[in-house]
Structure formats: structure tokens, C-alpha cells
Amino acid sequence: MSEKISPRIDLAFKKIFGVEENKDLLISLINSIVSTEDQVAEVTLLNPYNAKNFKDDKLSILDIKAQGIDGKQFNVEIQITDEADYDKRALYYWGKLYTEQLKTSDDYSKLCKTIGIHILNFTSITASPKYHHAFHLVDEATGMRYFKDIELHTIELNKFSKNDDDDLNSLVAKTKNALDIWIAFLTRNDLLDPTNLPKGLDNPGLKKALQVLEVMNLSKEERDAYEDRLKWFRIEVNTLKKMREDSLKEGIEIGKAEGIAEGKAEGISQGKAERDIEIAKNLLLAGLSVDVIAGSTGLSISEIEALKSS
């Protein structure tokens, strides 16, 4: 495969965090996200990575399901594109994992707290600049948490790092805690050398993850599945691009009808350019080639190369 493997593609993400030999990485990731009371010392993988899964269903959901030694359930998923009704899907998968704990004749006391962790390659919560949010059911008047078994985390990668404003020094400067270290890996692993990590990022888990990514070999089936996911992602990007173009045309027509076409068109054109640049940055972070990004955004190869080196 000519393109460098990106840990943001769910297949690679699961091959890093969802296998027995790397359970220490999954434990480290989970513990960097959840509260002190939910920390785990050991987990059992409920759906370990299996390359054979791609033979019949190459676009299945590649989440990671794990169980702590106290019975707590964890669902960890990375999502690269902003699908409709993401919030409802997140709740659905939480509910599915929660209810699947009960076997025939079990009573409700067997149900354990279930924590959903959703790592997003897009901005979902526009009202907040924070990249990590933890959601619980609380009483509206008092803030009391009574139904303690439900917990959902969202982690929005592009709020932590954007392609044009990070070099190694700025990445180190914004890395303050264990979760920041893992988000640095997912967003800017291209800046990190496992043999020469700077102070603040010199972490054994990060070093191992970088080494796993560096030597990751994909079988033919895995390569096909990875390419299928990239292909699907590109189709999604092109669909969004067409929707934007249609919206822009409509805006220009409205501007003409109101007699302000020139100013309206200029503003729309500037907005389109800014959005294309933003999309290009995210695609670069996702590991797509310059040629693919140029075809998806309308930016020139030289413009994209400039974004890569900025």
C-alpha cells in the first residue's frame, strides 16, 4: 500500500488496541479517559481483532468491546466521518452492550456499569471548545446522579490538533496529561519518532504504539478491507463536497435575486475556500494521498503540499 497506515482508520485502530498482545495499550487508553473510580488493572477483550471478519463484511463496525475485572463494560470506537444521527447511534451501541450482559434466567443485578468511548475525527459538539466530554444521566434540578450505569465519552480529535498549527514543539506544549499523549498519537503520529521522544511524550505506551504502527503488516484481506474503508471515506467526502457546491450555488442565486450577488458570491467563495482547506487538513491527518485530497477538495497539489509542510 502506497499510503502510510493511519491509526485513525478503524481497522488499524483495532489492530493496535484490540489484540491480546496490546491489551496494555487499551488499558492505558481507557484509564486516560475514565474517572479514578473506573480505572482498570486488567480487561478481557469481548471481540478481539480477527482478520477473518473482513472476508464477508469489510465495512462492519470495528469497535472494541472489553470487560474489566469488576464486570464493567467498555465500548471503544473511532469514527472518521460525521454520519447522520451519530448521537443516536452512540446510545444504541451503549444500550446493546449493556443489555447483552444478561443471559437467560439472569436477574437485573447482574448488569454492570457500561462506558461508551467515542473518538471522533470531526467536530460534533460545536458549543464547547473542549475536546473531551463525559456525559451522565443527572437530575436537572439538583445535578444528582442516580442511574450510575450509563456513561458516554466523546473525544473530538480535531479540537486537539489541526494540521497547520502543530510542529513537534507545539504538540509537546499542549500535551498536559495521559489522554493528551494518546490524542497526540492519533492526530500527529507523523511527528513522533519512537526512538527519540521528547520530554513530555516519552511514554512507554506511546513508544510501543508507535512501534506497532511502524511495523504493522496487513494481509491481503486486511489490505483490501483498509482500502475499502478509505474508498468509502473518499465517497463520503465527495458527497459532502457536492452538497456544499449545491448549497453555494443556491446561495449565489438568492444573492442575485436580492441584488447583492457580487458581495454574496465573494463571501461564499471565501467561505468555500476556507472549508476546502479545513477538509484537506483533516484528510491529511487521516493519511490520504495528496492526489486523492486534490480530487476531493478542488485544491491544487501545490496548495496541499504547502499544508503538509506548514
Measure Cα distances from 112 to 152, 162, 215, 250 in Å. Answer: 14, 37, 37, 51
Question: pLDDT digits over 141-199, tens only?
Answer: 999 999 999 999 999 998 998 655 678 998 999 999 999 999 999 999 989 999 999 98
CB 5 within 8 A of CB 213: yes
pLDDT at residue 245, as a whole number: 60
Helix, strand, or coil (residue 151): strand
**CA gyration radius, the chain:** 21
- CA-nearest of 120, 127, 65 to 98 is 65
CB 77 within 8 A of CB 61: yes
Query: What ranges do the domains of the chain cover?
Result: 10-214, 220-309
> What are the grid coordinates assigned to 274, written together?
476556507
Looking up cell 482508520 gives 9
Of 286 and 156, more confident: 156
- CA-nearest of 248, 227, 232 to 298 is 248
Question: pLDDT digits over 223-282, tens only?
Answer: 777 777 777 666 666 665 555 566 556 555 655 555 555 555 565 566 667 777 877 777
Question: pLDDT digits over 57-116, tens only?
Answer: 545 567 999 999 999 999 999 987 776 678 898 999 999 999 999 988 889 999 999 999
What is the Cα–Cα distance from 24 to 246, expressed in whole angstroms?
A: 47
Q: What is the mean pLDDT of the chain?
A: 82
Q: Are strands 73-79 and 64-68 parallel, antiparallel or unpaired?
A: antiparallel
